[in-house]
A and B are shown apart, each in its own frame.
Chain A
Amino acid sequence: MKIAVLMKQVPDSESRIKLSDDGRSVDESGIKWVMNPYDEYAVEEALRLKDRIGGEIVIVTAGPARAVDSMRQALAMGADRGIRIDCDPMNLDSYLTAKILADVCRDESFDIIFAGKQAIDDDCGQVHIGCAALLGWPHVTPIEKFELKDDNVTVRVTRAAAAGVKEIVESQLPIVLGCEKGLNEPRYASLPGIMKAKSKQIREIKANTLIGSESKRIDARTMQLAPERSSGRMIAGTADVAVAELIKILRDEMKII
């Protein structure tokens, strides 16, 4: 089975984000880069599928040179090879990112594509869905459970809809699946895995060979830091006293309740 995992490298969630003076870009100095947390579930599910029925896992990433580090992490976990679409110095939107990833995936003739349900930097969650649409494949996102039936073409997933409702969805391959937390527990790369990863192939493609004359659909202009919350008032006293004071504040001052 030929399996793809769409993977993005993002700033670690602890990172303090600093912006350039003109607010047009992020100051990358001091940022710790990691594999998008949701993509870890995607890599792990691909590995479990390969462990079960065999095949090849290709990590497909649209990103700058530093993204190779996170790709190596996926390779160290057990993926077989990678394809990096070098986008530098362009800042692509979801539309173009989906397009170039779909182009690569189409050429590779994958049977199934796993992706994290969204990247924690831009929080869009659209690229993997856009890929599915462009490939003419169904997609299901976000999934908490995945099963490939014994016929090796029927897929059964549990989609987390709103309010604790779970949808059991079935489809034939090929399909794109957006992975949610809870799908699995991602494995740690072993030392032998890390060593092997160093010599696994990562092919590089330039984004502009895929973009052609297409253009962005959304113009990202400026950014600003969101207002920080500051600490308010500590309410002292015994439990009874504090509770009474809080209720009074919420009712009288805040008119919240």
Chain B
Amino acid sequence: MTKILIVAEHDNGKLKKYSAELASLAAGLIDGGGALAAIAIGDGAAAVAGELGKYGVTKLFVAEGSDLKRYSAEVYSKILCDLISSEAIDIALSTSSVMGRDMMARAAMIKGVGCAVDCIDLSFDGAVLIAKRPIFGGKVIANLKLTSQIQMATVRSNIYPLKIKSDVVAEVVKLSYSIGESRAVTRDVVCTDIGMKDISEADRIVAGGRGMGSKDGFNILKELADAIGGSVGASRSAVDAGYISHDHQVGQTGKTVNPSIYFACGISGAIQHLAGMRTSKIIVAINKDPEATIFSKADYGIVGDLFEIVPKLTESFRRLLSE
């Protein structure tokens, strides 16, 4: 019987949407046989049992001590490794979030196995997992076979649909864990952008480029993003010009996003930018330059002054969504 363990991430007990997606993916993999468990670490971890249960997780291992309040690669990966051993886990999965990638990479090495990173597809070939993952900034898709005894992978967010499977809350098992020797310690946590959702998780993104002209220029994008419940993104040029922080950068040296809709405002469409958003379902480009490369990649394009167009879009969306 295949035993899958997923790493469930949460904000103080509120399950991340991508962790629910991961549960749905994993539940689909064991469909017809197998066991699906999850591990959640940190304050409020046990609270995600209900949500996870909906998506097919039957057991939730929880590590909630005060020494786990803050993330630590060494500690979290050790707890994960110990659980993989004690429960004889066959497959360990997490989202390819900043935390997921970090702890899974370390855990995989400790266990002496491979980990397929940022997978956009996972399926079984017999008992072995086959993964598809983007490489070369998304220009190429690689097909991999996970050949180790324990198979590990991190999966991209916003790809796998949520599938409600049951109404049974996952059984909560409190883990007795050991931190081991942890030398790197998080002393403080600073929130530089209050209320910001990580753009890699966002389903709707309004992004600005050099054309925004200034920090203030981004305000109209924030208003549009707010109107449609989305997040603000940026090109490298805008970040390098100091208009917005690197946390919002989309592209090869920024984040990879996968929203349903991506508004590219005043963005020329450099290859490196495309690398970060090429899988968006719909791309809408607004640019005053009719020759901008972005238009050759966008589903819809408007040539015009974004400072005129974006506020009008915002107004229209506000009206539409209040109906």
**A interface residues (Cβ-Cβ under 8 A, vs B):** 11, 13-17, 19, 26, 37-38, 93-95, 98, 120-126, 129-130, 132-134, 137-142, 144, 156, 159-172, 175, 180-182, 216-226, 229-235, 239-240, 242-244, 246-247, 249-251, 254, 256-257
* Distance from A206 Cβ to chain B, minimum over Cβ atoms (Å): 23
Whether the pair B144, A220 counts as a contact (CB closer than 8 A) is yes
Closest to A140 in B: B184
With A and B bound together, what is the CA distance between A94 and B109 in angstroms?
9
Q: Given the complex of chains A and B, what is the CA–CA distance between A168 and B190 in angstroms?
A: 8
* Secondary structure call for the B interface: mixed
**Are A170 and B184 neighbours in the complex by a CB distance under 8 Å?**
yes
Which of A95, A137, A167 interacts with B114 by CB under 8 Å? A95
Over the window 73-112 of chain B, the binary record of Cβ atoms lying under 8 Å from chain A Cβ atoms (1 yes, 0 no) is 1100100000000000000000001110110011011101
B236's nearest neighbour on chain A, judged by CB, is: A181
Nearest chain B CB to A175 CB, angstrom units:
7
Residue of B nearest to A234 (CB): B301
16 residue pairs bridging A and B, Cβ less than 8 Å apart = A11-B136, A16-B139, A93-B114, A120-B253, A123-B137, A125-B105, A129-B106, A130-B105, A141-B73, A160-B246, A163-B247, A164-B192, A165-B189, A217-B108, A220-B143, A221-B143
Find out whether the CB atom of A223 lies under 8 angstroms from the CB atom of B114.
Answer: no
Beyond A123-B135, A225-B139, A244-B316, is A164–B184 a contact (Cβ under 8 Å)?
no
Decide: B97 and A162 in contact? CB cutoff 8 A. Answer: yes
Once A169-B184, A181-B253 are accepted as A-B contacts, the answer to whether A163 and B309 lie under 8 Å apart by CB is no
A170 to B70 Cα, complex, angstroms: 13
With A11-B136, A162-B200 given, is the CB distance from A231 to B312 under 8 Å?
no
Q: How far is the CA of A167 from the CA of B188 in the complex (A)?
A: 6
A139: B residues at CB distance < 8 A: 73, 106, 184
In the complex, chain A residues whose CB is within 8 Å of the CB of B245: 164
**Distance A219 CA – B130 CA, assembled complex (angstroms):** 10
Residues of B within 8 A of A169 (CB): 184-187
Given A123-B137, A218-B147, A250-B105 contact (CB < 8 Å): no
Chain B 118-142 interface residues, beta-carbon cutoff 8 Å to A: 118, 134-142
* Interface positions of B (Cβ within 8 A of A): 70-71, 73-74, 77, 97-99, 101-102, 105-106, 108-110, 112-118, 134-148, 182-193, 196-198, 200-201, 204, 228, 245-247, 249, 252-254, 260-261, 271-272, 274-275, 278, 281-284, 295-305, 308-309, 312-313, 316-317, 320-321
- Kindly state the separation between the CA atoms of A15 and B137 in the bound complex, as whole angstroms: 11
* Contact call A235/B141, Cβ cutoff below 8 A: no
Contact between A167 and B186, CB atoms less than 8 A apart: yes
Quick check: A222 and B143 within 8 Å, CB to CB? yes
Q: Is there an interface contact between B301 and A231, defined as CB atoms closer than 8 Å?
A: yes
Closest-by-CB residue of A relative to B272 is A13
CB A182 to nearest CB in B, in angstroms, measures 5
Chain A residues whose C-beta falls within 8 Å of the C-beta of B271 in the assembled complex: 13-14
Query: In the bound complex, do residue A218 and residue B182 qualify as a contact, i.e. CB atoms below 8 Å apart?
Result: no
A216 touching B301 by the CB < 8 A rule? no
* CA A230 to CA B297, docked complex, whole Å: 5
Contact, CB under 8 Å: B309 / A242: yes
Q: Which residue on A lies nearest to B284, using beta carbons?
A: A246
Q: For the complex, what is the distance from the CA of A226 to the CA of B228, rounded to whole Å?
A: 29
Instruction: Tell me if A239 and B309 are in contact (CB < 8 A).
Output: yes
| Cβ contacts under 8 Å, A251 to chain B | 320
Q: Which residues of B contact A244 (CB under 8 A)?
A: 316
Indicate if the CB atoms of B134 and A226 lie closer than 8 Å. yes
